[in-house]
Structure 1
Amino acid sequence: MTVTDTTQGADTTEDAALHADASYAVSHARSQTLHELIDDPQARGRDRLRVLTGDRPTGPLHIGHLFATLKSRVAIQDKGIDTFILVADYQVITDRDSIGDVRAATLGQLADYLASGIDPERSTIFAHSAVPEVGQLTLSFLSLVSDAELRRNPTVKDELAATDGRPLSGLLLTYPVHQAADILSVHGTVVPVGRDQLPHVEQTRAIARRFNQRYAAGEQYFRAPDALLTELPVVPGLDGKKMSTSRGNGISLGMTADETAARIRKARTDSERRITFEPDRRPEVASMLRIVGLFTGEAPEAVAARIGDGGAAVLKRELTAAVNDGLAPHRERRAALAADPAYLESVLREGNARAREVATRTLDDVHDRLGLHY
């Protein structure tokens, strides 16, 4: 990202990079402390932790979601951390005209959450659209950020670049403020993210501090949340690019074993007989080796050495078996859940009510500090 100092007329790219590195170092240190608190209940003591995380229901969850987020959410929940999981249905419309069947995608996402081990008795699962207080909080938070801040947010830039020239919508521009409202509406203190999502958390921290200073007379009403930096496993698509079911390069958690086998059979490899792990030169083969390793616990180099001259046919056979065997328990639980939409809807209703109760109290408190109670 290039930042221009308009007073000097000089490009400050290097300064911006140094600032980003320094910011990451501070976030990394805070994250390490969080990991220690989460892992040790005695160390947590009276320190209240509440996690806010979630996904947009833009399509079926795939194995990338399983390894990168779902497993870690279950682990955090099982350590007794209060966890709120957002189905960000409103955010589906930030960067697309055709939103598809959001309701079906939401219920499918919920089925995958529960099948992965997320317990609705211990984690609160709620939908954006069911908690209108989040939208009202967004209005007050918009007064705390500048247009320039939003436009230079790297995540907004990346999302815009992925829309293939679509004009920047007001909703996409203010996406970081909506996320801040998601987090602060339930007083989230921990936000699991990868490094690329740090700017969103930093924007939320800034909004919390500014609200406290401007509207709460310095009272620490909102606690600035911390990023829980996660070392996300590399789960590329079958073609070596970012996994996405819409690209046809992903393996959805809800696929049948036969659908999985068919998807893998159609995947491209290359003409070389011997299987080697060379991500730069052989991205498709490397992706398949990585996926096998995630399910079997092997390093991709070890998988390649084991297959050797077996070629693409053996690699695809190994991949199909690893995925189908590894996902069999999840798929069995998911199928049972998907067959009972009334239960899924009841889980969401209960989560919505729980989240809305917290968000309503937050909005009331905010209105008190703004002098907006009549």
Structure 2
Amino acid sequence: MTTFAASTLTTPSTTSLLADRADVLEAPDRYRVLTGDRPTGPLHLGHYLGTLRERVRLQDAGVQTFVVIADYQVVTDRSDTSEVAANVRELVLDYLAVGLDPLRTSVFRHSAVPEIGQLMLPLLSTATLAELQRNPTVKAEAGHAGPLSALMLTYPVHQAADILAVGGTLVPVGDDQLPHLEQTRVAARRVNERYGRGASVLTPPQALLTEAPRLLGTDGQKMSKSRGNAIALGASEDDTARLVRSAVTDSEREITYEPQRRPEVSSLVLMAALCSGRTPQDVASEVGSGAARLKAVVAEAVNEHLRPIRARRRELERQPDVVDAVLAAGLERARPLAAATLARVHEAMGLT
């Protein structure tokens, strides 16, 4: 009788959507992280404080980590791909500058692993149109003007293929992204039931909830590359100070940390706190009163924290081959895993 080994990892129970952080830190060798970014523009402070630092922590804790640069997924909602290659390079430089180590973290381009695209077809066979239409990202895109592309409709399955192809068992996410991960878990279970006849062909991954701060951009909206309201990691210190000075606040003079009542001011306070290793309450108390004083404290805290990261990035920019070397090493680790996953699925389907 054929058995389908889901992974070389000794994985924990995956009956629960949420992984236990204490267990991850106690037994890091039982997990494999898959996370990533779309190369649509420079990474910013929100990315760093929300996700990049978490990746470095997991890497340093000994968790095997894979980061996919989802270049193929750029075309889900954009027709111009002329900047993708340049953006890939910028992402890799940022990853290295913040502390991701290519000896311990594998960074690879989505388009360099064709097995991921091939895995999409059997995964799509397990999804229904109604399920895809209910996905929050798809629903949000459908609410915009213009037709919804077929690729955007299948975006959740594309993400599932990214995770499952390399045997990712742990995905760091915010609570707003849990529906995406649940879609991946459903796809894995259905492949096991339909094609593996209950055998473990694919391992449903778990979510590691991050305590990602929801920082606002300079316009008071969610910090975003597309909105032009973010502080890029690679920005100069002068540009950082200028952007912070332009940030929206409110009319109250006293500085307090009240995220629900005063979101703009509180976001600035939190930004300074996270960058200086203090509590938001301590920062607010230090500032006392005045938006100008608050912004000066924020700009100094951000620039002080990012100074060594930016210096490291400038060093890396002078090494012309470093990006290609990192991507080649990551691909060397990622593609065999994806090929083995696809072969396992094909075997379960009776195609080999």
TM-score between both structures, scaled by the size of structure 1: 0.85
Match of 1:74 among 56, 62, 69: 56
- CA distance in structure 2 between the partners assigned to 1:84 and 1:314 by the alignment: 41
Q: Figure out how many residues of one structure are paired with residues of the other and give that number.
A: 340
SS at match of 2:226: helix
The match for 1:256 is: 236
Structure 2 CA distance for partners of 1:30 and 1:203, relative to 1, 3 Å: closer
Relative contact order (C-alpha < 8 Å, sep 6+): which is higher? 2
- CA distance in structure 2 between the partners assigned to 1:245 and 1:61 by the alignment: 7
CA contact (8 A) 2:44 2:231 kept: yes
Structure 2 CA distance for partners of 1:90 and 1:288, relative to 1, 3 Å: same
Match of 1:96 among 67, 78, 83: 78
Per the TM alignment, residue 159 of structure 1 is displaced from its structure 2 partner at its CA by 4.2
Matching of residues 1-374 of structure 1 within 5 Å: 31-33=18-20, 35-41=21-27, 48-161=30-143, 164-280=144-260, 282-309=262-289, 311-373=290-352
Per the TM alignment, residue 276 of structure 1 is displaced from its structure 2 partner at its CA by 3.4
Structure 2 CA distance for partners of 1:265 and 1:176, relative to 1, 3 Å: same
Per the TM alignment, residue 265 of structure 1 is displaced from its structure 2 partner at its CA by 2.6
Per the TM alignment, residue 155 of structure 1 is displaced from its structure 2 partner at its CA by 3.0
Q: Return the structure number with greater helix share.
A: 1
SS at match of 1:246: coil
Per the TM alignment, residue 104 of structure 1 is displaced from its structure 2 partner at its CA by 1.2
**Could you list the per-position Cα deviations for residues 157-196 of structure 1 after superposition, in whole angstroms to 9, with x for gaps in the alignment?**
13444xx323211111101111111111111111111111
1:72 alignment partner AA = E
Per the TM alignment, residue 295 of structure 1 is displaced from its structure 2 partner at its CA by 1.0
- CA distance in structure 1 between the partners assigned to 2:16 and 2:123 by the alignment: 27
Per the TM alignment, residue 37 of structure 1 is displaced from its structure 2 partner at its CA by 2.0
CA contact (8 A) 1:125 1:352 kept: yes
- CA distance in structure 1 between the partners assigned to 2:46 and 2:108 by the alignment: 22
- CA distance in structure 1 between the partners assigned to 2:198 and 2:209 by the alignment: 29
- CA distance in structure 1 between the partners assigned to 2:183 and 2:273 by the alignment: 36
Structure 2 CA distance for partners of 1:40 and 1:140, relative to 1, 3 Å: same
CA contact (8 A) 1:70 1:116 kept: yes
1:126 alignment partner AA = F
SS at match of 1:250: coil
- CA distance in structure 2 between the partners assigned to 1:237 and 1:336 by the alignment: 28
SS at match of 1:313: helix
1:181 alignment partner AA = A
The match for 2:5 is: none
Per the TM alignment, residue 351 of structure 1 is displaced from its structure 2 partner at its CA by 0.9
- CA distance in structure 1 between the partners assigned to 2:322 and 2:79 by the alignment: 31
Unaligned runs of 5+ in 2: 1-13
- CA distance in structure 1 between the partners assigned to 2:133 and 2:300 by the alignment: 46
CA contact (8 A) 1:194 1:229 kept: yes
1:370 alignment partner AA = M
1:40 alignment partner AA = E
1:36 alignment partner AA = A
Structure 2 CA distance for partners of 1:37 and 1:284, relative to 1, 3 Å: closer
- Identical aligned pairs, as a percentage? 53
Per the TM alignment, residue 320 of structure 1 is displaced from its structure 2 partner at its CA by 1.2
Per the TM alignment, residue 30 of structure 1 is displaced from its structure 2 partner at its CA by 5.2
1:110 alignment partner AA = V
Moved more, 170-179 or 279-288: 279-288
Structure 2 CA distance for partners of 1:230 and 1:279, relative to 1, 3 Å: closer
- CA distance in structure 2 between the partners assigned to 1:345 and 1:172 by the alignment: 29
Structure 2 CA distance for partners of 1:32 and 1:219, relative to 1, 3 Å: closer
Q: CA RMSD in A?
A: 2.2
CA contact (8 A) 1:240 1:286 kept: no
1:39 alignment partner AA = L
- CA distance in structure 1 between the partners assigned to 2:278 and 2:116 by the alignment: 43
Per the TM alignment, residue 282 of structure 1 is displaced from its structure 2 partner at its CA by 4.1
**Could you list the per-position Cα deviations for residues 206-225 of structure 1 after superposition, in whole angstroms to 9, with x for gaps in the alignment?**
11111112112321121111
- CA distance in structure 1 between the partners assigned to 2:54 and 2:124 by the alignment: 32
CA contact (8 A) 1:239 1:287 kept: no
- CA distance in structure 1 between the partners assigned to 2:248 and 2:211 by the alignment: 28
1:111 alignment partner AA = L
